[in-house]
A and B are shown apart, each in its own frame.
Chain A
Amino acid sequence: MSDIAIGGVGRRNYLNDSHSIRSWLLTTDHKRIAILYAISITIFFLIGGAAISLVRLELLTPNGMFLSDDSYNKLFTIHGVIMVWFFLIPSIPNTLGNFLLPLMIGASDVAFPRLNLLSWYLNITGGLFTVAALVGGGVDAGWTFYTPFSTEFSHGAIALAAIGVFISGFSSIATGVNFIATIHMLRMPGVTWFRLPLFVWSLYATSMMFVLATPVLAVTLLLLVIERLFHLPLFDPDYGGDPLLFQHLFWFYSHPAVYIMVLPSMGVITEVITCFARRRVFGYAFMVYALVSIAGIGFFVWGHHMFVSGQSPLASLIFSFLSFVVAVPSAIKVFNWTATLYRGQISFEAPMIYALGFVGLFTVGGLTGLFLASIPVDIHVHDTYFVVAHFHYIMVGGAVSAFFAGLHFWWPKITGRLYSESWARFAAILMFFGFNFTFFPQFVMGYAGMPRRYHVYPPEFQVYHVMSTIGATVLAAAYLLPPVYLGWSLWRGRRAGDNPWGASGLEWQTNSPPPPKNFVRRPEAPDQPYDYHPAGQAPRADERSPRRAANAAADR
């Protein structure tokens, strides 16, 4: 019965193993937990996306059309809160990471499977509190919750939203503990540290940040709630408190948070680029050092969000300098991805289109980050659309592209089905154009002075806002395509073989979809992580590509 929908014919896999709701909601199988997360992040993505669609519509005219100032503030806030904590942060680590980590190291599950399930429940409980805040009055303080507006003057359901995010933080910490223990203790013999796929390294670096940064967010939100609900002053200047204390605590977490969002993306990109260029990654060791350096140095740059807040010039200088330093390992990664392409046999399947898009868009985002790290420039563009464009280039152009790259790359492994390559390529290209049309005008208008979070704006910026909204419409259409053709593939897609891409990695040595305990036959640990040819051994043009051969085999 179940074989009609998914899974290899007659083969027992993690999807058809049992069908009850109970077996899904009480599962400890990391693969099923990954699917649970995939469903919840999709719902949150739709909520956050709906909010910003209303905002972009409203911004078509300089004086607003159908929203009050309050409603406008609540919509952009909820967009930020949901997208950061309930979509971006869990997206790659908890869906792709959960599914693939044990497979990539040859293990049968993560170190603490029940804790993994608890992570998901904490995440959706936090999400429910946050959505309750949305419905129960809305939150209008921005996703940054700055005091004293959030503690004293806002009339929104701030405490409820803060509690929701607080709860979801424990989900992150639990995931971090789980992944770190898994990588240290469950690698099968032969899988040494410097043979790990870079996706695993990226999850390791991300998990370190989960564990070390998230607790500080918990404290920040807790103190915010204490001051707001119980009127116990800590940040209130009337009693000698300091709003900058809130900002220091908030950004100590929130800057590493952006690396939490982007490092797993970088891991995915390396997996995809190496496969579709048929090349070993260039400079594996430096790629590892870069990941770990970004994670580490990323803890020391948070003050670059506070250049105009009243922070001391000396502290600002130090944070500015360190922000330049942290760009270096990111740049190393971009160079190495580019060098990986050299003398490769590049093909443009959908994952590769997303991955190449990532490299370009992340570079733009990263460069504009350097502009912002420079104090004089930041003073000019702080709190303008320049900043908004910068972080969307990284978060959407980068992280979301990488998520889609990974989703398509591993779709055959996760579902046992092949999606329609033509529709996927079309969606990827549409997304690239829609994205740039949405966000590039924002760089221009931000530099010209358009402030962020403004409901009403001077009419000279209308042309940019209209371009941005048109781009957003195209982008939205591009986002709505994958659910359609991916969903279709679950019903009618061709069955995938074990390794439709001819990719290297232990996850490709098991069935698609994998059996409940991951491996039927013990996989063979390779003696190097990317089993593709090095530059000096690129096959000639007339030689058959191994991947095409593998594809042909899967078709039979």
Chain B
Amino acid sequence: MSGEPIVDVQDLTVDFLGGVKSLRAVAGVDLTLRSGEVLALLGESGSGKTVTLRALMRLLPERRALIGGKVLVDGHDVRALSKSGLTAYRGRTIAMIFQEPGLALDPVYRVGDQIAEAVMHHEGASRRDARVRALALFERVRIPSAARRLDNYAHEMSGGMRQRAMIALALACRPKVLLADEPTTALDATVQIQVLLLLRELQRELGLAVIFVTHDIGVATEIADRIAVMYAGRIVETGACRDVIRTPAHPYTIGLLASRAGRALAKGERLAAIPGSPPDLANLPQGCAFAPRCERAQPVCEAAVPAEVAVSDGHCARCVFLHKSEATA
């Protein structure tokens, strides 16, 4: 178990069909994740981070989204799972929490019943036992007066409490992998940090493998062991959290870090913004998708998608200039 990755994704592609032409939202993503590891997928809207996450759980519409590549999670070939196999896989092997718990929880069932239902379904537990588990979970995620809150409907809870309830629901059947899709983005700052700390603590205690999607570098820094930066459907840089934050290698990552308003700036100084706007997925350039916005771009960038280059141990980036310096060194 120890050496084997629990999530093994090779060359994942997702194409959305329909419309005039199909759209490649994920264009060859490789991911490996071991138990007890937290990976942050960092990227902007349209970079393919959420689609990657949903592909891992096969939550994309079957007929309109074409998944390619290898997706292995805890020994399951996710692409080949049958309908019943998928039902067993979701919840017990892998679970997901979403950005908007108000939309993810069912508004017409009590939250406690929703959790109990999952336990009854997956583990064949009695209703009574399932309620006991739900109560334990509510206490575990530190919802105050848990017993009373089990009988709440989702709208009766505050945002932070709803997010805790959703985490409880996701953990109800003891999954090995937790997927988190911007779970703190809709929360207030003082609540966000509470939820991040809770996730970190649960992850450590339960030995969960977590893939955490976010657009916020600060949040990624708080939660992740490793960071993978996505741009236009590809991972452009990946490495240990410390390496990516301290010594970013890809111009996009460098630009993102430099453009943060949080850096200490003298009054009147300008932010080092990345020029241009994110690419149109329907009209991606042949080569490096970041080249049109990159100040270092050369004709060579437009020729082909840059290969992954190892910058240091476990730290890779897709940029031709890294390749060059590597070759000459």
Question: Do A and B share a complex?
Answer: no
Residues of B whose CB lies within 8 Å of any CB of A are none
Residues of A whose CB lies within 8 Å of any CB of B are none
